[in-house]
A and B are shown apart, each in its own frame.
Chain A
Amino acid sequence: MATIVYAALFYFAAAVLVGGLAFHVWRYATTPAPLRIPTTPAPTTRAGAALRVAREVVLFQSLFKSNKWIWLFGWAFHVALAVVLLRHLRYFLQPVPAAVAFVQPYGALAGMAMVGALAALAARRLVVERVRYISGPSDYLMLALIGAIGLSGLALKFVARTDIVALKAFVLGLIYFDWRPLPTDPALLVHLALVAALMIVFPFSKLLHAPGVFFSPSRNLADNSRERRHAPPARLEALARKA
């Protein structure tokens, strides 16, 4: 029973996540950027602008300039999350690639760092008056949701271990449409249900900052308006010709 419910849940969640993100990415890509608005000083070439975006994505450069605490907690959280995700690839890939095998020992550490960073971010929201003012229910819920995923994951590692061989069979079964039973340990069921919830919520929430950061015109446009004409949208082009 749990197998059917969770299999259906994950097909649904994956469809929502991929479909929702694809929809938003398509909309960001097709919405016109009528004017050239990089925040300057900005790179003068497109390659430079791409590098600028890469620095934002990998190092959180602007956030570092802004506030060292938010940077520390935010960056630590995202790096830890990346390691944790990479570690989880072992459930999806057979054979397990070398890089994924390499991060295995660091996964638990990253999991703890992730939960710790989330706790720090939550504390900041509650303690700093300015940040408390701008925080809404969804901001706290998002921290709680990801925190609960982390905690249930750590519980699976340290408290109530599950049959990971069977789990991997279940996951690979989902991918290859060759369904296998899911172990029904409560901690695992909670962990997976929360992950599915996160996948479903993703395209409807502020997690859209993930695709958004790549499409931000103040970061991804080159400062080259004197060298290369930024063509106006048709609406303004027509007005200019009329004048």
Chain B
Amino acid sequence: MAAAPGAKSSDRSRGDPLELPALACGAMSNSKPYPANAAMQTALGFPGELVENWHDKAIARLGELVNGSRALRVYLDSCVKCGACTDKCHYFLGTGDPKNMPVARQDLLRKVYRRHFTWAGKVLPWLVGAGDLTEETLADWYSYFHQCSQCRRCSVFCPYGIDTAEFSMAARDIMDTIGMGQKYCNEIIGKVFKIGNNLGLPTKALKATLKGLEDEIEEDTGVAVELPLDREGADILFVTPSADFFASPHMEGLIGYAKVLHEAGVKWTLSSYASEAANFGMFIGSHENMQKVALRIRKAAEDLGVKRLVFGECGHAWRVAYSFLDTLAGPLDFLDPNYPIPQHICEFTWDLIEKGKLRFDKSKNDHIRLTFHDSCNVARASRMGSKPGGQFEIPRAVLRAVCNHYFDMAPDTIRESTVCCGGGGGLLTDELMDLRTKGAQPRMRALREVAEEHGVTHMAAICAICKAQFSKVLPKYGFDMEAIVSAHQMVSNAIVLTGSKQAEELDAKAGAAAPTS
């Protein structure tokens, strides 16, 4: 179709979501996140500034990492440069910078590994693509390993399952170790240690927020739904990203969780000590920091004496919870083995829906024509339910249960092939806005397709980072910033609480419509 008159020729919002760009060498070499300052670095146990012998220290750290990770060692050795991954990264598709092709990104680290840890690279560096860790290479590391959202899309398509996330985690760990940390992640991890959550919300503010939400729900429904904090003896500890306490559309999701938990009739609580599900320790590849963050959740669960752990909507947090928590902070054998340890809120809600315990008025979502964005860490690094792929089926089943108009986006952009929101992996920071906007291009184009074909108006997500990222980039692609919704916001809209105004209205309507014979 010809471009509409007046449309810019560089309209990036339309076209094939996975359209190949022309190579643009060095196009993104100036994209760099702000560096962490000395205080942020030392709070995490890293040197405050670039250490004097940074080269030797970096090589030594690389050696430690390779010796400590089978994944890294196998992936460094195994790549055959087949090219299968070259067109799979959303940052490459959006920027055209060849160093954003997964294999080229990996090679930034691989060339140094070859130079120092392989015989061929020591003897014939020019032949096998080995290279020294020069200042230039280090600058490339800082730039391009902060252009990877660790979304694992490349890993799905690699014949050896090589996961570029493992490379960017390792490279960030090395850079932290020599005093070259990134501000956004390290500052946030510091806040978690100091205050308990990424946003730095103190307990008092948290309490006030929860009280405000309770009032809001009661006003809307006439039902007193609790959002308890630090309630000892509760059965369920609910851990959710702190964005849920703070901004839209996250908060609407939190209201949804609260309504579901209320309707389930369980005793649950949030924790001020573990008032954050996110774990940015993963993004910076630091097992030590990831473990320290994860242990807060264990401690909160033990201190409050809960029997179950349920997590709110957050992609990488669910990866850490589902795949790593038991390893890092376990064994979690003090929890009730009759329930999944841990459980995702979507699993919790779907379980109730299947048992017929929730009542919905789907017409409350009739103004919405919905699609669903599979968040990368949920899609490719975790599971829901008992069967592989439950992480795709369960959220969709929940959404279909609460909404009449649901449409999937193009098959090669969803489920295991989902394209990242563009802001994951510790890149959700303003100075990377250009990268984030370009990285969102495949998803935005896929959304444009269903908007035009099916009149889709909204996109649901189950990740705080996705939601925050889309709120920012949707307007850049001609969508309303409120087109992004929480999955449990949709649940919240449609759920009919027992004894609520909505229940009365619905019953009255049903009564009036009932046949009189």
Contact = CB atoms under 8 A, between A and B. Distances in A.
A36 interface: yes
B159 A213 contact: yes
B288 A130 contact: no
B181 to A, nearest CB: 20
B75 interface: yes
Contact of B163 (A39, A65, A125, A206): A39
A28 B295 contact: no
B161 A216 contact: yes
A91 interface: no
Interface string A200-243: 00001110110011011111000101100111110110011001
A135 B80 CA distance: 9
Interface string B124-162: 001111000000000000000000000010011111111
Interface stretch (B238-246, B374-382, B441-449, B502-510): B374-382
A62 interface: yes
B158 A74 contact: no
A34 B381 CA distance: 15
A3 B28 CA distance: 57
Given A37-B381, A218-B71, A70 B84 contact: yes
Dominant secondary structure at the A interface: helix
Interface stretch (A41-49, A169-177, A191-199): A41-49
Interface string A132-156: 0111111101000000000000000
A206 B75 CA distance: 10
B15 interface: no
A230 B162 CA distance: 21
Contact of A67 (B67, B83, B152): B83
Nearest to B378: A40
Given A129-B23, A226-B340, A239-B291, A215 B84 contact: no
B126 to A, nearest CB: 7
Contacts of A215: 70, 74
Interface residues of B, number: 76
A219 B78 CA distance: 13
Given A217-B70, A226-B322, A232 B84 contact: no
A42 B390 CA distance: 11
B416 interface: yes
Contact of B73 (A28, A205, A231): A28
Interface in B240-297: 287-288, 291-292, 295
Given A236-B328, A243-B295, A130 B86 contact: yes
B69 A34 contact: yes
A66 B85 contact: yes
Nearest to A137: B127
Interface of A: 24, 27-28, 31-37, 39-44, 56, 60, 62-63, 65-67, 70, 74, 124-125, 128-131, 133-139, 141, 204-206, 208-209, 212-213, 215-219, 223, 225-226, 229-233, 235-236, 239-240, 243
15 contacts: A37-B166, A37-B381, A62-B157, A63-B159, A66-B84, A66-B85, A70-B83, A74-B82, A130-B23, A134-B103, A206-B78, A209-B159, A216-B161, A230-B326, A232-B327
Interface of B: 20, 23, 66-71, 73-75, 77-88, 98, 101, 103-104, 107, 118-120, 126-129, 152, 155-163, 166, 287-288, 291-292, 295, 299, 322-324, 326-331, 340-342, 379-383, 386-389, 391-392, 416
